[in-house]
Amino acid sequence: MNAGGDCAIFRPMKLLSVVMPVYNELATIEQIVSRVLAQDLPLELVAVDDCSSDGTGDKLRQLAERHSALRLFRHEVNQGKGAAVATGLKNARGEVIVIQDADLEYDPADYPRLLQPILTGEADVVFGSRFLGDGRKNLQPVQALANRFLTWYSNLLSGLRLTDMETCYKMFRAELVRGVEFHSRRFGIEPELTAHFARRKARVLEVPIAYTGRSRRAGKKIGFKDGLEAIWAVTRFNLLASAKNNQSEPGK
């Protein structure tokens, strides 16, 4: 199902937690932090530095000293995006959470569009789809093909009807992840979260978002190996996790 438009937000929100995993993004970190904090919303930015080695950590510490809404956490050893997201989720204090990459591919100006279906009670989870809007024009052909396959496979196993499972922009009610232990260390966090929402029977909608993709030369970190790991993650967190849950229920 899809939802779009810039309708008015009807229910006041206490706090939005923006969870930002960060690894070696010195060239963009100050700009993306500025963009997030510029949004006219009650929010906190929960940045998790995954043991950056390029000076990003020092820059984040400087920014945290200037901005009280920025809460900084650090991994002493590099663990991967999924691990950084998990740390951010555990420390988020808002009633709604959104994941934000530390590069400039995704635009925080889309937050109100993502929030609207949640605050009006239409959805529990909103995915920002790059394929529903002009953002699809900025996807590399190979990237678009891989995303379409992974989304199709995820839909097949989860029962959802998404156009962009791999999107970074996943916004959801915080209660859906409270106390949940996520296992993906790297980019498998996207299918793991998706499978988790499907198992919880959450109402999931999609809205179109802006997207400005970058190449590996420009710093993109996802490669062929991550695609193979994503296929395994879709299988693991849908089929295998569901089977394990069924075995643990009384009478199974």
Count the neighbouring beta carbons within 10 Å of the beta carbon of residue 217.
6
Tens of pLDDT along 116-156? Answer: 999 999 999 999 999 997 766 667 788 889 999 999 999 99
Region for residue 26 given its phi and psi (left: phi exceeds 0; alpha: psi -120 to 50; beta: otherwise): alpha
Q: Which fold has domain 16-247?
A: Spore Coat Polysaccharide Biosynthesis Protein SpsA; Chain A (3.90.550)
Tens of pLDDT along 177-211? Answer: 999 999 988 889 999 999 999 999 999 999 999 99
The letter for the amino acid at 58 is D
Tens of pLDDT along 47-74? Answer: 999 999 999 999 999 999 999 999 999 9
- pLDDT, residue 187, reads 83
Question: Would you state the structure tokens that stand for residue 3, as one six-digit string?
Answer: 């939802």
Q: Is 104 exposed, middle or buried (0-12, 13-18, 19+ CB in 10 A)?
A: middle
Handedness of CA 120, 4, 162, 186 (dihedral sign): negative
Count the neighbouring beta carbons within 10 Å of the beta carbon of residue 176.
15
User: Would you kindly state where each structural domain of the chain is located, as residue ranges?
Assistant: 16-247
Is the pLDDT at 31 greater than 90? The verdict is: yes
Question: Would you state the structure tokens that stand for residue 174, as one six-digit string?
Answer: 């915080």
Region for residue 251 given its phi and psi (left: phi exceeds 0; alpha: psi -120 to 50; beta: otherwise): left
CA distance 182 to 108: 25
